[in-house]
Structure formats: C-alpha cells, structure tokens
Amino acid sequence: MKKECVFIDVFTDAPFAGNQLAVFPEGNGLTSEQMQLLAKEINYSETTFVFPADEPEADFNIRIFTPGRELPFAGHPTVGTAFAIMDLFDIWTEKSDVLKLATKVGVIPLRREQGMLWMTQNEPEFFAQHKDRKEIAGLVDLTPDDISAALPVEEVSTGNRILIIPINSLKAIERAQGNVTNMRKFFKGDLVGPYLFSLETTNPKVKVHTRFFAPHLGILEDPATGSAAGPLVGYLLKHRVFGEKFEIMNEQGVEMGRPSLIVMRGNLEGGKYSIEIGGTCAYIGRAEFEI
C-alpha cells in the first residue's frame, strides 16, 4: 500500500522557516500503529492524517501524531492541514473560504481572510496557578528570578492544557531549555507542556516572544505552537495584559533558526472569550511511503 504526503511549513510565508508539518490526504486503510510509525519516521513535531467526515457539521476528520503519541488537538497541524486541503489536495468538492475540521476536542472552523488562515479555538478553561517558582524555573533550566512576579504561572486550555509561564526578559527566555527529567515528573495527565512568553521581543512590531518545549513528548522544542498560542490569548485577556480586545503578533522559533509569526486575536466581552489564531503557510514538497 502506497501513501502520499505533502510537507508544509506553517506560520511562515517563506520555505524553511516556521513549523514543519507532514499531511497525508488519505488516512483510510492505516491503523493507529501505522500512523504512529509514519510520524516517528518523518520525525516532525506533528504529522496529520485526513479522513472523510463522520459528523454532519465537519468537512473532514483529522488525526494528529507527534513522534511519540497521538494528540487530541494541535494548532499548527490544524492550520497546515487546512492549507493542504484548500490549496494542494483535490479532495474537497465544495470549496469555500471556511473549512471545518473535526478533531478529538471538537470541530475547529478555519477561515481564509486576505491570504491568511484563521483558526477559531474553544473558549479557554483556567486551571491551577503555581506558586513555587523554583519548581517552575527548573522545568526550563532558569532561575526563580527569571519568572515574572507580576503575573501568575497558570494552566490554561483551549483544547490542549498548557502551562503558561511569564518570563521577565528576552535574555532570560533566550537562555531557557527543556529539562526532560523535571518535565517527565511534572507533566502528567492532560497537562501537555510549558509555553514561555516575554513582553520583550526581537521585532519591534511584535508584542510577545514565546518558546515551547516538550522533550518528554519527543519534541525538543517547537518553532510555532498554535494550540499553546490560543491558551496564551485567553491568559492575556483574563489578566488584561493588552486590555479586553487586541490583535497582536507573536514571534516563536527565533532561537531555533526557524522564525515563525503567529497572529493572535482576542476579545473578552460579557464574560465570553473569543480567540482566533492566524497565520500563513509555505508548500515544501511531496513524498510517497510504502506501508
């Protein structure tokens, strides 16, 4: 059995930047074990598989795999898969500017707007806040003084439960690295990994600088993490960092040499959160695998 896939860079308009993704347009016939083996062989942070929709409100179902396990949801794979379906594959007969992808956390709508794909994420859920800054700093080999005292370390989910960690300075966040031993002890159950952010940036047009580490999942560092950017939007709204409505750019992947730009829209009105993540994609190439 032969299976084709395409390679895409997500959250960039230039090849060989952003976050890498492999997309298989025809997942039927593959077992979960085979999909996991393909994701491990390709060894990108995520690989996706497209299936016909099994619910009326969705256009397609997708499954998302890291090299180590299946994820219920992830941001850049959802955006990149939408780009592949809209622009590269001939599998969507009723094409429009809105595509609905069913994931294991629900149906995610994606909208094309002036060349950019926008993903609407679920309303945020807020979980525990962590006071032990020494323990938190140890996850990413920083010192407690590198963690901001002005904002909380907090677990937030818009599909994936992410630990949001505010960092005092750009220099501090640049020093960070994932401590796999400490992360394996800390991240259990639904809590996926840490998303570090600093309000100091390398690009003056950008408002936040971010990094995501997940060596405990087989991902040393992720150059663009849409499923963590959504929780960060919820966090920024809750704590009024940029007020109750904003559209800002988030730079990630700089330290990896794969700069990414994630556009983040947030609105909090009447206690209801609206969260959108936007970005562009670049086509890289195609491959065929013998299963």
Active-site annotation, residues: 46
Task: Tell me how long the chain is.
Answer: 291
Closest CA to 164 of 236, 218, 74, 76: 236
With a CB cutoff of 8 Å and minimum separation 6, the contacts of 257 are none
Q: Is 92 exposed, middle or buried, given 0-12, 13-18 or 19+ CB atoms closer than 10 A?
A: middle
Q: Which residues pair with 112 in a beta bridge?
A: 117
Q: How far is CA 178 from the centre of its chain?
A: 17
Nearest to 194 by CA among 174, 179, 207: 179
CB atoms within 10 A of CB 36: 18
